[in-house]
Structure 1
Amino acid sequence: MDAKKSFCEVNDLTDAAEALRAIRHQIHRHPELAYEEVETGALVAQKLREWGYEVTTGVGKTGVVGTLKAGDGKRSIGIRADMDALPIVEETGLPYASQHPGKMHACGHDGHTTMLLGAAQYLANTRRFSGTVHLYFQPAEEHGVNSGARAMIEDGLFERFPCDAVFGMHNHPGMPPGTFLFRDGPFMSAGDKVFITIKGVGGHAARPHLTVDPVVAAASVVMALQTVVARNIDPTEPAVVTVGVLQAGTANNVISNSAKLELSVRSFSPAVREKLRQRITELVHDQAKSYGASAEIEYIMGYPVVVNSERETEFAIQVAQELVGPDKVVPHTGLLMGSEDFAYMLQQRPGCFLRLGNGEGEDGCMVHNPGYDFNDKNLPIGAAYWARLVERFLEP
């Protein structure tokens, strides 16, 4: 980097912090679930048009893409922010809490969208780059299957709005705000879902010998599943099998006809992912059969592993170190067992998915929690990071 050249600093976004908070709080008040981001998308499109972007709506159903060109540079960059909320009842008690019962921005997508909007305005005002910027405002990251990233890609995202590299960011509770976390190679796990129905023969609780109790079979399945990782997967390979749902019966004197289980399965390698699928399927069928019951299994392969490319990750790390200093950058953080549909974009283009600390202690409430809130301290920091990343990537 030429030391004489000037790139975006956090202080350049300080004056915009209050306006960014207002935007973020507006989005937070009006959360929209996957593929329902009509109001959010309209706000994004309006702001981008005001700032001089070429705007395309309806990409991947409710996605929005803003395009800005400057100079005669031939390179292009894509930056993605997710817009959707979660089906959670908010319990923050904040003055800008959700006005839509049962819907909440409990993962910080309101902050992600606002940070990218902050960068968009700054870049439009300064235009200290040469090339093309595509801002991908994505729907339905929380959908789990048929996600927004996949929908935008299938709608021709990278053919219509091509980029040489793509970048994305997520907040990270448990680390101080303004702290950037990176990891090249595999970073976040593949996430699969398993829906199981154990079918038995219901009857009176006083005559269990005349029934086939699916609850007992389901309980055995739950315990047996605890051995899948411990006794089938190499201990050096990260993997998780969690039973998140176990439902059966409606009364204490009735043995139900069926029991339902839902699993979350996480892994980092294709071989481990397939081994988990094989062993879970075999084990569930065999356990149910051993109790005289049967099992139906719907095994859904969800988001793939997030794999950051080495060169783009090193570049992203360098930009963060320039912006906030090496002390606030973790260049090789640990693996994360959460999943993220940005993985689909990284399968199409080289790039980097990074994390930004959202706070510690009381300020570090875990995502997907009814008490969570995005940390507004990060708005100018994240916006400045995206702006500087663009300026450095498309340096004249």
Structure 2
Amino acid sequence: MTVLPQIQEFTGDLVAIRRDLHAHPEIGFEEKRTSAIVAAKLEEWGVEVHRGLGGTGVVGIVAGNRPGGRRIGLRADMDALPMDELSNLPYRSTIPGRMHACGHDGHTTMLLGAARYLAANRDFAGTAVLVFQPAEEGLGGARAMLSDGLFQRFPCDEIYGLHNSPELDEGQIAIFPGKAMAGASFFDIRITGRGSHGAMPHKAADPIVVATALAQALQSIVSRNTDPMQSAVLSITQIHSGSAYNVIPEEAVLAGTVRFFDAEVGALVHARMRRIASGLAQSFEVEIAVDIRDIFSVLENHPAETAYLAEAAAEIVGAENVLTTPKPMMGSEDFADMLQAVPGAYCWVGHAGTVALHNPSFVLDDGILPIGASLLARIVERRLASA
């Protein structure tokens, strides 16, 4: 493994930054403290700073010492999740209901490490554009930055991102071209019936009975309506209704997510959801309102940029530790929207630990910080080696 020596020297500083961010997590579009720290560090290292894109987003600009018109983007997400932390870490979350359970504190720190290195050396021909994005966790932070003119104000010829992975071995990096992460929608389905005493169900139009029937019927969409060769997932993750033992409520709400690798498959699932809901509404004489929201696009890595990133990864962790066999994931990532605007690639960096992401006991291995920072810095140096 060949972590860049200068980055290795200040790894202790990166660990301190990451642990501070971990102790003070902020969810999407609330990353005021986090973005202030990012901006302050960038300014300290002589990086040109722009704030306020997409709400709390930050963009840093590092110009190389050699002339060149090409511009390489690097992106990291900053937001935490709305959940309590159950670890016993000395730097665990100090904010109830907030936790960095996906490693975005690490991603932010890695990009800061790359920024410090690039600003100190500037041995490249062109410009590095450092994108610190808010609200990746289903709130549309990438789209907000794009709507604010991210690539109009800060054009990029290519852009790269990464994510930590406890599912890979420590020191492995996985990257492959094509569809790599699923598109996703979130849905809320509100059933409005007629409430009654629990002992008098004949006077009610029971929304709970409808909700259970609907939950079962929706599960038939993937198994009986989509092409078996086209992957899709429909998961109901919430059911809310009622407040008393002896009262049939008036309303019930179902919520969840749909995942897909083809937009047409997603559209088919959405259409079937609405049709099934409409049919059950008529059968049970209730009202059913279906709200389906497009949240994530399908993440597709561009072939050439995937190869460039894989070559840079081989310099950092060795070619034997770079995994290029396609293994698409049903998880989603809103970097997908940036990849629809600019060619680029996204990879996963393995680290010690086996607790899954989004788990209240998740722990990010700090050993990943110099690896990720070196990879991000190296892709800039490689792609801007000459004008």
Interval containing the TM-score (normalised by the shorter chain): over 0.9
Instruction: State the SS of the aligned residue for 2:347.
Output: strand
Query: Displacement, 1:287?
Result: 2.1
The answer to whether residue 373 in structure 2 is matched with residue 383 in structure 1 is: yes
Residues 250-286 of structure 1 show CA distances to partners (whole Å, capped at 9, x for unaligned) of: 1221111111100200011111011011001111221
The corresponding residue for 2:37 is 43
The corresponding residue for 2:195 is 202
The corresponding residue for 2:58 is 64
The corresponding residue for 1:230 is 223
The corresponding residue for 1:256 is 249
The answer to whether residue 156 in structure 2 is matched with residue 122 in structure 1 is: no
Instruction: State the SS of the aligned residue for 2:348.
Output: strand
TM score, norm. by length of structure 1: 0.94
For residue 77 of structure 1, what is the amino acid of its counterpart?
I
For residue 365 of structure 2, what is the amino acid of its counterpart?
N
8 Å CA contact retained: 1:365, 1:373: yes
Residues 129-163 of structure 1 show CA distances to partners (whole Å, capped at 9, x for unaligned) of: 11100100111111x24x11111111111111111
For residue 91 of structure 1, what is the amino acid of its counterpart?
L
The answer to whether residue 330 in structure 2 is matched with residue 330 in structure 1 is: no
Cα distance between partner residues in 2 of 1:111 and 1:20:
9
8 Å CA contact retained: 2:3, 2:370: no
Stretches of structure 2 lacking an aligned partner (at least 5 in a row): none
Choose 190-199 or 121-130, whichever is displaced more.
121-130
The answer to whether residue 360 in structure 2 is matched with residue 367 in structure 1 is: no
Cα distance between partner residues in 2 of 1:366 and 1:118:
25
1:18 to 12, 30, 35: 12
Cα distance between partner residues in 2 of 1:325 and 1:239:
35
Residues 25-60 of structure 1 show CA distances to partners (whole Å, capped at 9, x for unaligned) of: 011111111111111111111111111111111111
Cα distance between partner residues in 2 of 1:358 and 1:299:
35
The corresponding residue for 1:4 is none
The corresponding residue for 2:294 is 301
Cα distance between partner residues in 1 of 2:33 and 2:286:
48
Instruction: State the SS of the aligned residue for 2:346.
Output: strand
8 Å CA contact retained: 1:175, 1:364: no
Query: Displacement, 1:11?
Result: 4.2
Instruction: State the SS of the aligned residue for 2:219.
Output: helix
The answer to whether residue 136 in structure 2 is matched with residue 162 in structure 1 is: no
For residue 175 of structure 2, what is the amino acid of its counterpart?
F
Query: Displacement, 1:177?
Result: 2.4
8 Å CA contact retained: 1:9, 1:388: no
Cα distance between partner residues in 2 of 1:324 and 1:368:
26
Query: Displacement, 1:17?
Result: 1.6
For residue 158 of structure 1, what is the amino acid of its counterpart?
F
Cα distance between partner residues in 2 of 1:242 and 1:287:
19
Residues 342-392 of structure 1 show CA distances to partners (whole Å, capped at 9, x for unaligned) of: 111011100001111133xxx221111111122101001111111111110
The corresponding residue for 2:340 is 347
Instruction: State the SS of the aligned residue for 1:236.
Output: coil
Query: Displacement, 1:10?
Result: 4.0
Residues 204-248 of structure 1 show CA distances to partners (whole Å, capped at 9, x for unaligned) of: 111111211111111011111111000011111110000001111
The answer to whether residue 98 in structure 2 is matched with residue 103 in structure 1 is: yes
Query: Displacement, 1:98?
Result: 1.0
Cα distance between partner residues in 2 of 1:300 and 1:59:
23
TM score, norm. by length of structure 2: 0.97
Cα distance between partner residues in 2 of 1:45 and 1:212:
56
The corresponding residue for 2:272 is 279
Residues 290-318 of structure 1 show CA distances to partners (whole Å, capped at 9, x for unaligned) of: 22222111111111111111100111111
Query: Displacement, 1:110?
Result: 0.3
The corresponding residue for 2:236 is 243
Cα distance between partner residues in 1 of 2:147 and 2:257:
26
Query: Displacement, 1:201?
Result: 1.2
